[in-house]
Amino acid sequence: MQRLLIADDDNEIRELLEFDLSHSGYEVESAKDGEEALQKALTGNYDLILLDVMMPKMNGFDVCKNIRQSKPEVPILMLTAKGTINDKTQGFNMGADDYIVKPFDIQEVLLRVRALVRRSPGAKPSSANNVQEILKLGDIELFPDSLETAIKTKRIKLTPTEFEILYCLMQHFNNAVTLAVLLNEVWGYNSDDDVRMLRVHVGGLRQKIEDNPKIPEYLHTVTNVGYKLTPCGAEDD
């Protein structure tokens, strides 16, 4: 059974999430403040962590950042009333995989939880399905079991979302992949509201794989379309 951690200081919201997620087949634990959430996240094994932002003792952004430093493979869904573009961007920069603004529809939460747990340490990345072998195109190698990439033999740890974006682009290398296709293949749904989320994750991926993210060698923007991966040394069929 997949295990979830819910961190929220609002008793009513936390209990609602616990009830609905438990009845959807998940094993659920909870935390009432940021320090408790971080302690449980670092010592326990979870397939997904749901984090509120405005919590006592430690805010969700700092909790997310600390989890990412120790457990980069665990999906994190931020669930908060702080819904401005700047708030979302800060959450993604701290390492969140997805972001839902309160008040929320519980069915949307369940949809996004299902999409994210497919990337948990106990599950293969959804786009990769049952692929276990190392994937290689030119200078770029992907290691599904460890959620890592290697650029010119330099190993780099990826978040679950970064891994899926790179995997999707590798399947279409040297061809433009639209924003809609990326959103659907990586998150399992396509919403115009989530395009900025995708752009932030692509920016984070560039920071990791490019020597100069402002002049990318591999991951290119295709204006008004989406993105294209051009692994150096890969043959274009």
Q: What is the pLDDT of residue 176?
A: 94
> In this structure, are 21 and 100 located in the same domain?
yes
pTM exceeds cut of 0.75: no
CATH code (residue 78): 3.40.50.2300
Q: What is the pLDDT of residue 125?
A: 45
> In this structure, are 104 and 166 located in the same domain?
no
Predicted confidence (pLDDT) per residue in 120-163, tens digit: 656 544 444 444 567 888 889 988 877 889 998 889 988 888 88
> In this structure, are 42 and 105 located in the same domain?
yes
> In this structure, are 141 and 192 located in the same domain?
yes
Task: Name the residue range of residue 158's domain.
Answer: 135-229
> In this structure, are 86 and 148 located in the same domain?
no
> In this structure, are 91 and 16 located in the same domain?
yes
Residue 22 has pLDDT above 80, yes or no: yes
Q: Give how many domains the chain has, as a whole number.
A: 2
Q: What is the pLDDT of residue 128?
A: 44
> In this structure, are 166 and 111 located in the same domain?
no
DSSP the chain: --EEEEE-S-HHHHHHHHHHHHTTT-EEEEESSHHHHHHHHHHS--SEEEE-SS-SSS-HHHHHHHHHHH-TTS-EEEEES--SHHHHHHHHHHT-SEEEESS--HHHHHHHHHHHHTTSTTS--TTTTT--SPEEETTEEEETTTTEEEETTEEEE--HHHHHHHHHHHHTTTS-EEHHHHHHHHHSS--GGGHHHHHHHHHHHHHHH-SSTTS-SSEEEETTTEEEE--TT----
Predicted confidence (pLDDT) per residue in 156-207, tens digit: 988 888 888 998 999 888 899 999 989 888 877 666 667 877 888 898 899 9
Instruction: Give the residue from 61, 82, 117 where a domain finishes.
Output: 117
> In this structure, are 42 and 96 located in the same domain?
yes
Q: What is the pLDDT of residue 145?
A: 78
Q: What is the pLDDT of residue 191?
A: 63
Q: What is the pLDDT of residue 200?
A: 84
Predicted confidence (pLDDT) per residue in 53-98, tens digit: 999 999 999 999 999 988 888 999 998 887 777 777 788 888 888 8
**Is 130 within a domain?**
no
> In this structure, are 151 and 207 located in the same domain?
yes
Q: What is the pLDDT of residue 218?
A: 94
> In this structure, are 11 and 88 located in the same domain?
yes
CATH code (residue 181): 1.10.10.10
> In this structure, are 23 and 72 located in the same domain?
yes
> In this structure, are 7 and 102 located in the same domain?
yes
